[in-house]
Amino acid sequence: MIPLLAEVRVDSFKRLPKSNRSYPPRARLRLWIPLFLVWLLLLPLVLLLLPVMAVAALALRINPWRALTAFWGLFTGITGTNVELNDNKAAVRIRIF
């Protein structure tokens, strides 16, 4: 399934240099990105570029259909990816639904 929604959360903590304690986040960024709208906007551009990419693939002796299915697999495979990074200075979370 194509990725439809992305959550990006970044919390930046204030931290005293001599202390390992972290304080409540001083900067918070929370974004819910509707990826399905982004794909809708990019769709005309992709359709325009498809013939160009097909010609380029043939010039490089690559099967255009195999290339397309490989990229499609990469595109749909991103769904379900979670990345979380936490330390004293910041907490970052990226989730793709």
Partner 1 sequence: MNERRREVLQMLAAGKITADEAEGLLAALEKQSPPVAGSAAEVPAKTKAKYLRVVVDAAKSGELGGPTKVNIRVPMQLLRAGVKLASLIPPQAQIYLDDALREKGLTVDLSQLKPENLEELIDGLNDMTIDVDDKDAKVAVFCE
3-state secondary structure of 6: strand
Q: According to the binding rule CB under 8 A, does residue 71 interact with partner 1?
A: yes
Question: Cα–Cα–Cα angle for 15, 19, 25, nearest 5°?
Answer: 25
15 makes contact with partner 1 (CB under 8 A): yes
Torsion angle, CA of 11/17/21/27, rounded to 10 degrees? -20
Closest distance of CB 77 from partner 1, Å: 3
Q: Of the listed pieces 24-32, 33-41, 48-56, 82-90, which binds partner 1 according to CB under 8 A?
A: 82-90
Kindly state the tokens that stand for 52: 């160009």
C-beta of 95: minimal distance to partner 1 in Å?
A: 9
Cα–Cα dist 58/97, whole Å: 34
Q: Can residue 84 be called a binding residue for partner 1 (CB under 8 A)?
A: yes
Q: Interface residues with partner 1 (CB under 8 A)?
A: 15, 17, 20, 22, 60-63, 66-67, 69-71, 73-74, 76-89
